[in-house]
Amino acid sequence: MVAAAAQPILVFMLVIGGVAKLVTAGRDSEPGAFGRLGPAVLAPENWRKNALIGCAIGEFGLIAGLLLVDHPAPRWMTVAFFTVATYVLYDLRRRRPDAGCGCFGDVSATPVGLRAISRTVVLTTMAVIVALDGAPGLPTPNWQTLAWLAGFTVVLLALSPEIEETYARLKYRAPCELRPFAPERAAARLRSSAVWRNHAHLLGSDMPSDSWRELCWRFYVFEALNGAEVVFAVYLSGRRPPVRVAVVGGHTPIQESIPVSASL
């Protein structure tokens, strides 16, 4: 019963941990950002991103072993993984009190505390129980298994500082003016808009001659066929953000006004 409840939790924790690490590694983070996350702190600076990816790959390997392999090796490797993780977090708390555990990517940026260490101790204990039970794959649930599953879940949630971190990020989300937004994403929004389709015939090139951001708007300047300039403004918030356009110079009148905050 206990092992049957522990195994799906271990698999779930490894899945979200591995996915979160890959997502974090794939982002364009500021210099030194990976140096504040657990698995990367112990690696040289140039290898920190690879360390995060390698840890994620290892977690996916453990998932496959727990679900597919009828052999004690992957189960005891899971025990070893969480045991090492417990030691790493303890060492980080002692040597790098500013570093987060990185257990779930940059969501786990809160400095390592007793809760995070206690969580890995609980997960290590659960991994030992699963290893001793020796049953591969996910079990068939019954009411006793579900009761243990609920109990383990409550304990792990109570020991997860990421809950408060995620809530704080959602509640105190930075205003649009301060949120990062890749120019490539804004360009994709522009090219998928009706405003772009209606004015593309005026452009002498598909590549902008200038681009800049002002508050919540990203501006793109294109050379027009008649010597004028076509200026697009893309709003950087919302699912269907507005796109504005102005034709400046030459003999073409302005087609549509852009925000008054823009300084052209």
For the segment 97-104, the average pLDDT, to the nearest whole number, is 77
pLDDT of residue 39: 60
pLDDT of residue 180: 81
Place of tokens 């405003």: 195
Q: Distance (Å, rounded) from C-alpha 115 to C-alpha 162?
A: 10
In this model, does residue 33 exceed pLDDT 90?
Answer: no
Which tens digit of pLDDT belongs to each residue from 152-184? 999 999 998 888 777 766 666 667 777 788 888
pLDDT of residue 120: 94
152, 119 contact by CB (below 8 A): no
Strand partners, 234: 218, 243
pTM above threshold 0.85: no
17-46 per-residue burial string, b: 16 or more CB within 10 A, e: under 16: bbebbbebbeeebeeebbebbbbbbebeee
Instruction: Please calculate the CA angle 25-28-33 and round it to the nearest 5 degrees.
Output: 70
Do the strands 210-214 and 229-235 form a parallel or antiparallel pair, or are they unpaired?
unpaired
Instruction: State how far Cα 7 lies from the chain centre.
Output: 25
